Chains A and B, each alone.
Chain A
Amino acid sequence: MILVFCELKDGQIRKPSAEALSEGRRLADASGKKLGALFAGASCAGAAEAAKFGADVILTAEGPSLASYSSDAFATVLADAVKAKGATVLLAAATAVGKDVLPRAAARLGAGYASDVTGLSMVDGKLQAVRPVYAGKAFATTSFASAVQTATTRPNVFPAAEKAGAGATEALAAPAGDFKSVVKEILAKASGKVDLSEANVIVSGGRGMKDGANFKILEELADALGGVVGASRAAVDAGWGLPHSMQVGQTGKVVSPTLYIACGISGAIQHIAGMSGSKFIVAINKDPEAPIFKLANYGIVGDLFEVVPELTKAAKAMGIGSN
């Protein structure tokens, strides 16, 4: 069996989990295996949706002990499910939870682990993964020696494809309490916007923004396009009050949106490493020699303080982002 650990949010399967599940279905078809979707929490209401993404079996571990995320409790659920079902492949999305729990579960199972993968295949009955290394400056193929193979899938790379599955349900026992660590409180950002790592459209600003307050024009463009705002290391380190969570690059977030608009970003190698996986790149810069133009599908040589507001205006006029 191929087992995919899925996360729920507001009673729905999170998009990165649906993507992992769809990729699991593809691998299961390619290798003649069953696909299991695994859920854990105080309530797993909404787990039935996994049948839409091809799950043959939906496994739910429900109980008060799983109300808050705990690395060791969730690792126990995952490892026990792998053993109980005799699964040979365990996947999850490379989210904050996925990246926290999968390595721990893998170590308990003596299983190899490939993180944040952008390609998966079955070779001689075993998983093989392709993943960006050096923040996307190169791609490594990971081959496994272990009986169980595990991986987390990078959000926004694998399509979430609907395909009906049998969706037979099975309840698993929730582990008893007294865990080594537990999440006590979630401090959400007020905006409620998606994270850079999952965003479909990113508008990013660099040193050319001149000041943190000027990021307001990027916010306006991002809002018009249904995207979120990022920043280069130069901008984050400039003392403009921009949080590190906004930073795109090798020492910040590595992103793969459909559209990345780089405003006043020259294109330092460490920034390019973090965003070169974007499907379409737009560069707006007044320096025609800026290295970012070598990477861009579309380039605008001009003053971003003129171009960006024009883009916002045109996007609104065209009704872009409203769909």
Chain B
Amino acid sequence: MKILVALKQVPDTETKIKVAADGKSLDPADVKWITSPYDEYALEEAIRLKEGKGAEVVALSVGSDASKDVLKNALALGADSAVLLKGEGQGDPYAVAQVIAAYAKDKGFDLILCGNKGLGGDNAAMGPMLAELLGVAQANVIVKLELGDGTFKAEREIEGGSEIVEGALPAVITAQKGLNEPRYASLKGIMAAKKKTIEELDAAAVTTAAQVSALALPPERPAGRLLQGDAAQQAQALLQALKDEAKVF
């Protein structure tokens, strides 16, 4: 079995967002970059499949040289090889899906795993777009995955519960928190990864369908008010204010 794991480098969740001078991108100063947490669940699942059933795991990222950190980490965790598709990695999910599809289409992957969304961009779109471009099945926001003989069974999070999706391989499966508990890289893994090389390819030329034309910070929230008195008085004052001033009820 051959598994492709697509990984994205994103700003850490604690990042304070500043808009760059161009008015449409993130100011990269002081940003700590990490692997998108949802992609970590995807990678962990691939490594567990490799350990359980035997599989070849290829880690892939689209982006600049900086994204090599994400791939080095994936190699340290157990990916067999890593590919960097050099090009724009932070923009249009349709463009990224086309870049990955162009790379993956003739390589015989049985399973493509990635996060259900890239933290930050929050598009939650690359996975299903990739599935469509490759003409394969998809299952998104997955918290449990079982593989059969050329088939998959996945539990997917929906409003108020979950649902079981069944389909044929190859498939694009996008991971949600809860799928597994990602491991940390071992010293042995880190040492072994140092001996591996990251294959670097130019990203295919693709059409951009949508792009960010402006980035702005949210408006400041108005100053709030502290409610005084004992617990009963505070409770009463709060509900009255929500009813009369905020008109919530």
A114 within 8 A of B: yes
Chain B's closest residue to A280 (CB) is: B246
- Interface code A134-166, partner B: CB below 8 Å = 1, 0 otherwise? 111111111111100100000000000000000
B145 within 8 A of A: no
Chief secondary structure at chain B's binding surface: mixed
B115-171 residues at the A interface, CB under 8 angstroms: 119-133, 136-141, 143, 153, 155-168, 171
CA distance A136 to B217 in the complex (A): 9
B191 within 8 A of A: no
Count A interface residues, CB 8 Å.
103
Of B15, B37, B124, B215, which one neighbours A251 at CB under 8 angstroms?
B37
Chain A's closest residue to B162 (CB) is: A187
List A contacts of B241 (CB < 8 A).
Answer: 298
- B224 touching A320, Cβ below 8 Å: no
List B contacts of A245 (CB < 8 A).
Answer: 157
List A contacts of B215 (CB < 8 A).
Answer: 133, 138-141
A113-B161 in contact given A107-B97, A107-B129, A251-B37 (Cβ < 8 Å)? no
A321 within 8 A of B: yes
- B131 touching A192, Cβ below 8 Å: no
- A180 touching B168, Cβ below 8 Å: yes
List A contacts of B13 (CB < 8 A).
Answer: 250-251, 269-270, 273
Point out residues on A near B: beta carbons under 8 Å. Answer: 69, 71-72, 75, 95-97, 99-101, 103-108, 110-116, 128, 131-146, 149, 179-189, 191-195, 197-198, 201, 225, 243-245, 247, 250-252, 254, 258-259, 269-270, 273, 276-277, 279-283, 293-303, 306-307, 310-311, 313-315, 318, 320-321, 323
Can you list 7 pairs linking A and B with CB atoms under 8 Å apart?
A: A105-B132, A108-B132, A185-B164, A186-B161, A187-B161, A296-B224, A310-B236
Point out residues on B near A: beta carbons under 8 Å. Answer: 11, 13-17, 19, 24, 26, 37, 92-94, 97, 119-133, 136-141, 143, 153, 155-168, 171, 176-178, 207-218, 221-222, 224-227, 231-232, 234-236, 238-239, 241-243, 246, 248-249
